[in-house]
Structures are given as C-alpha cells and as structure tokens.
Amino acid sequence: MFNRILIYLHEMYPPIHFISTYIFTFIIGAALGTHLESFDFMYDIALHLGAFSVCLMSLMVRIMDEFKDYEDDLKNYPNRPLPSGRVLKKDLKVLQTFVISTFMLLSTYNMNVFIAACICLFYGLLMYKWFFMEERMRKSLPLAFATHNPVVIFYFGYICVILFERGYLVDLNTTLIGIPLALTMTNWEISRKLRAPKDETEYTTYTKIWGLKNATLASCFVQTLIIIGVSIFLLQSSVSSYVLLAYIPLALLVMSQYLKFIKTHEHKKTFKLYAEDTALITQLSVLAGSVLRIIF
C-alpha cells in the first residue's frame, strides 16, 4: 500500500506542487506583512504549520476529485494511477484519512485557526458532494467552476487567520492583494480546459462550451484583473514600483500567447503551463515588491 501511495503522490501531487503551495503561503505572509521591519515571521513555527496544512488541504481536494471523477477518468485519463489500477481506492481512503487528521491536528494550537480549518474542511466536503446538486453540476461546467473555485479564498482566509493571530496582520486593506493571487488559480482552472479544435475529445472544455474565442478571452480578462491588482500593490511604494518594469512585460508576453491562439487556433505548449507561468510571474513579483518594502 505504501508504495502505491508513493506512486500516486509522485504523479498526482509531485514535490513541485507541494513546494510551490508551501512557498505561496510565505509570499502571502510577506505581502500582508509589508509593514513589518524584519523577516521574523519566516521563522515562526505557526506559519510553517499553516503552510504545511494548506498543502494538505490542497491534496485533500485532489484526492476527493479522484473519487468524484473516477468514471470520467476511466474514459479520458485511463493512464492515471487510480483508473489504471496502479493505485486502489482503499489506498486513497487511507491517505485521505491521514491528510485530514493531520491538518486538523496541526490547527488545534489556536481556537480561531482550528475554526478556520473546520470551515475549509466543510467547504471541501461540500465540493465532494457537488453541493448536493451533482446531476446539475455535471451538466454545467461553469456552475461547477463557480462553486468549486472559491476554495482558494478559503485557503487564503485560513492563512490570514494565522497571520492575524500571530500579530503579523494589522491592516485589512492589505488583504486585497489576495484577490490577484487567488485569480491566478482561477486563470489556471480556465486555462487547463482550453484546447485547439484538433485536440478536443469527449472531455468537456471551456472551448467546447463557450467557443474558442470567448473562452480564451475569458482567461485574458482574468489575467488583466491580475495585472491591475498586482500593479496597484506594487505602486503603493516607490521602491516596489520598480518591479513593474519587469512584471508587466512578462505578464503581457504570456497573455500574447492567448491572443495569438485566437487567431491561429494553435499553441506551442498547453495553456495549463502558460497559466502556471502567469502564476509564477505574479507570485515572484509580489514577493520581490514585498521584500523591497520591508527592507526599505
């Protein structure tokens, strides 16, 4: 069983996903703690526990999706660990029990943090149950998107509670940076379901539902909101505003690949990877701006 679980984690939640989610927590910490005069929060064990818990929450949702989408994956992704039989459902049930128990246990040191963890768990369970309207959601990808994507906001809220309880969050206005950071996940969710006409299968995509142009423009709209939000954050300080000189050209370069797709109906790499480029550029820019503001 242990080896099968390792196979699953390697393929469906590889180390790079864990590390990026872990670091994401500290990027939020730096962005919300720009009023601080040091990086002491980096050594706070509570924030490290929170970062690890967010990773586990993300894995929890990933495992839930394995059970929810099992029948679809048998047809569309037969080589994945579970539908291929390399991993068994009982293995994932054991892993899920460990994941949920661990992040709940790690949140017991503070009542408010524990309550925030309970809320994240409750929302995850609602997602698993399709918000008790499975048949309707399975027929409507936009409805599923609208109800499932906000889980990122709950993770962000969990991190904010930890920062507040530890004294690092004193100005609620700074939490607005969470909007563009969360939207990178929204863009990823849309982008991974953008396909060229020749690549379409039975799998439901946004390009099938909305058409290639409208679906791609929807992603561009989200990216525009991200650029505006990050730019406002960086412009709040004369020091961090210099980061814009690198951020905007890079962000627009990625977006140009989407606009090119509308004209050519072709792309060099999957839009999931383009969305990950956008997320990386956004997070690094926010981190760089935050560090400069703390230092200077």
Same domain, 15 and 161: yes
User: Are residue 7 and residue 84 in the same domain, yes or no?
Assistant: yes
**Residue whose tokens read 């906000």:** 150
Q: Are residues 30 and 55 in the same domain?
A: yes
- Give the model's pLDDT for residue 115: 98
Are 246 and 280 contained in the same domain? yes
**99 and 196 together in one domain:** no
Helix ranges (DSSP H) in the chain: 2-12, 15-32, 45-68, 70-76, 81-84, 89-105, 111-128, 134-138, 141-148, 151-165, 178-191, 206-210, 212-235, 244-264, 271-295
One domain, residues 115 and 247: no
* pLDDT tens sequence across 26-74: 898 888 887 777 788 888 999 999 999 999 999 999 999 999 999 989 9
Query: Mean of the pLDDT values across residues 123-148?
Result: 91
What average pLDDT score do residues 111-115 get? 97
Check pLDDT > 90 for residue 96.
Answer: yes
Is residue 123 located within the same domain as residue 180?
Answer: no
Q: How many domains does one find in the chain?
A: 2
Closest CA to 137 of 150, 126, 147: 147
Per-residue pLDDT of 248-280, as tens digits, reads: 999 999 999 999 999 999 998 999 999 999 999
Do the beta carbons of residue 46 and residue 116 sit within 8 Å?
no
pLDDT digits (tens, 9 = 90+) for 174-233: 788 889 999 999 999 999 999 999 999 888 899 999 999 999 999 999 999 999 999 999
- Nearest-angstrom CA–CA distance, 227 and 244: 10
Q: Which of 155, 170, 185 is the last residue of a domain?
A: 170
Q: What pLDDT digit, counting tens, does each position of 166-182 carry?
A: 988 877 777 888 899 99
Check if the beta carbon of residue 251 is closer than 8 Å to that of residue 282.
yes
CATH number of the domain to which 152 belongs: 1.10.357
Q: Which is nearest to 196 in space by CA: 264, 277, 276?
A: 264
User: Does 77 lie in the same domain as 202?
Assistant: no
Q: How do residues 10-30 score in pLDDT, each as one tens digit?
A: 999 999 889 999 998 889 888
pTM for this entry: 0.90
Q: Are residues 160 and 278 in the same domain?
A: no
59 touches 99 (CB < 8 A): yes
Residue numbers of the domain that contains 203 = 173-296
Q: Answer whether 67's CB lies under 8 Å from 128's CB.
A: yes
User: CA-to-CA distance for 106 and 261, rounded, in angstroms?
Assistant: 45
Q: What is the pLDDT of residue 141?
A: 86
- Domain boundary among the residues 170, 197, 214 is at 170
The reply to whether 239 and 133 lie within a common domain is: no
Residue at a domain's end among 146, 170, 194 = 170
Query: Are residues 136 and 214 both part of a single domain?
Result: no
Angle formed at CA 120 by CA 49 and CA 141, multiple of 5 degrees = 130
208/259 same-domain check: yes
